[in-house]
Structure 1
């Protein structure tokens, strides 16, 4: 019985200690570099892996060319060319899409 009582006391103490620690206000503002990192991380949202790291690194360095839109994938490029030539049919459509794909 004393073992159970000890465990109960320890867990209750842990709960109160955690609650007291969590209630401590975190009023310390972010430093300028921490704020810049947060902003760059937010700007690179949706990217993963090497693309994310590259975007955040470029942003932290102040590289303004990184803000330019990323190069379209071939699938996105094909969709754009198809949309551009939507009114054409048959061989005209195929040749127009082909020329569009080669132009970019």
Structure 2
């Protein structure tokens, strides 16, 4: 049986308003990332699958913020959007 996947399609303006990619990038590649407190919370709050998916989002946030900018349209699953939100909340709290 085929599995139906729902995608969100966002414009670059919507991405800039709704996805905290700049915060995620600055936190991930900043000094606060290499602390023991952050590592413990990271392991407690994110599943192994989320941590693996977050690796791709960290690279994407870096690309969007510092290299290419956000494309005109961005397509992602609802789960990816939820992970962006979770990463944003996590990064804002450390």
Task: Give the TM-score, by structure 2 length.
Answer: 0.22
RCO (CA 8 Å, sep 6+): is it higher in 1 or 2? Answer: 2
Question: More strand per residue: 1 or 2?
Answer: 2
User: Of the two, which has the highest radius of gyration?
Assistant: 1
